Structure 1
């Protein structure tokens, strides 16, 4: 059972990150290049620092894995997984299709997750064993029925994210789906939890890209797995599949893996 101090801390951490991010949104930023050529800004670094400082103060024995500042005690029983701005390209171009991701692993299992959009004020809070809570101007956290891929709204951040080995599987899924939309990063997964998108399939994802998403979507009635339908672990290969209706999972897996 997840204790309330963990949930409170996660929300307070999201608030702390938002206080850093909001004043910098749509402002002139010095954009640097990370090793993978994605942009990183002052907002990424300082937002993660604010989150890590809060966690260290309240739970000094917990571990933290963050995109910007690396891992500290990643083998601890409780490990926080942080992506301060998931969707940095959207952030630096003034589009509010990004979010802060704060997840908590217990012995490697995602048990708490927050998707926070600090500009629009939307927030998804997922806790294992509980219904996902959504705060926003409209919408309720509940995935919609969609039993077949042919009926599904498919989303993906970018077609360029797939390796040559993964591209054929995604193309099979894309061809079978009703419609595909691009962009959104973590925001697209939030839309799955609101019943507005039915599938997201992506690859080359790091643990900080997906750990917070699992409790959010599964608390809204969906599933998040690997492309083979397997449970995600810290050793996952980066291929992530989210479906709003679990009845569609097997079909999506068959398309992605050509089984």
Structure 2
């Protein structure tokens, strides 16, 4: 596994998405919420799975659209072919191709690819590169000076919304609607904090490696590092993370 391999995955996903000329949209939300999926999602996942299968036939693959291959393998690839499909179908540039690599429970590598912006973030061997150049998080260590983001406060339950409102009141600048792009911006220093709830492993597996490889911190909304509940905060520093948790708790 090297940087070139992630570039191959990105190129294949981008090509498959470009080939999906007719944007047929299905709703997999089962009636309780709108959860769009397109032929572009499925095509991109198929293309990446095929490359991984050939290069690493013993590895597991867990894709959002087609599930598991070799579940239980010591190392597996977590794929979200289009994170932010709502943004994608609206013609917004914040959607991303996400790939995370998990080995023995540890996030060892990841990619956040932003095709519409031609930005490819790859985390490997403990460092994160943006189009081949190393990036670092900002030096922000104060919530009062922080630029923060969440995708949509309407997705929070009552307790989470109250916590977000306290974060909102304490921070300097707030932005919405960026999906995985917000976490990419933490890694590149444009934002200091990004948080969301209700995330699935496909949504955060790539983010963990990318943010940590840029020197940032990733944890949950309770002050720990177990992300299985889907509540995720990425920050430029552990000091900022601690202040965010204190604000959420009130």
Please state which band the TM-score falls in when normalised by the shorter chain: over 0.9
Deviation by residue 1:96-115 (Cα, 9 ceiling, x = unmatched): 11110011000121110001
Q: Which runs of 5+ in 1 are unaligned?
A: none
Provide runs of 4+ in structure 1 moved above 3 Å: none
Q: Match for 1:48 among 29, 45, 50?
A: 45
Contact 1:101 1:116 in 2 (8 A): yes
| TM-score of the superposed pair, with normalisation by structure 1 | 0.90
Contact 2:141 2:236 in 1 (8 A): no
Counterpart-to-counterpart distance in 2, 1:232 and 1:105: 14
Counterpart-to-counterpart distance in 2, 1:119 and 1:193: 18
- Farther off after superposition, 163-172 or 38-47: 163-172
Contact 1:7 1:112 in 2 (8 A): no
Counterpart-to-counterpart distance in 1, 2:212 and 2:149: 17
SS of the aligned residue for 1:181 comes to: strand
* CA 112–118 in structure 1, closer or farther in 2 if over 3 Å, else same: same
Shift of 1:29: 1.4
Q: Which residue of structure 2 lines up, in the alignment, with residue 228 of structure 1?
A: 222
Deviation by residue 1:150-172 (Cα, 9 ceiling, x = unmatched): 10111111112212232211111
Counterpart-to-counterpart distance in 2, 1:232 and 1:58: 30
Aligned pairs, how many? 247
Q: Which runs of 5+ in 2 are unaligned?
A: none
Is 1:256 paired with 2:248? yes
Q: Which residue of structure 2 lines up, in the alignment, with residue 9 of structure 1?
A: 5
Deviation by residue 1:203-227 (Cα, 9 ceiling, x = unmatched): 0000000000111111111111111
Q: Match for 1:132 among 120, 128, 131?
A: 128
Counterpart-to-counterpart distance in 2, 1:162 and 1:14: 31
Shift of 1:7: 4.0
Q: Which residue of structure 1 lines up, in the alignment, with residue 201 of structure 2?
A: 207
Within 5 Å, give how 1:113-152 maps onto structure 2: 113-129=110-126, 131-135=127-131, 141-152=135-146
- Farther off after superposition, 96-105 or 159-168: 159-168
Counterpart-to-counterpart distance in 2, 1:249 and 1:173: 11
- Cα RMSD, aligned residues only: 1.7
Q: Which residue of structure 2 lines up, in the alignment, with residue 246 of structure 1?
A: 238
Within 5 Å, give how 1:8-27 maps onto structure 2: 8-24=4-20
Shift of 1:6: 4.9
Shift of 1:256: 1.9
Counterpart-to-counterpart distance in 2, 1:127 and 1:253: 28
Q: Which residue of structure 2 lines up, in the alignment, with residue 182 of structure 1?
A: 176
Q: Which residue of structure 1 lines up, in the alignment, with residue 188 of structure 2?
A: 194
Counterpart-to-counterpart distance in 2, 1:254 and 1:155: 17
Q: Which residue of structure 2 lines up, in the alignment, with residue 107 of structure 1?
A: 104
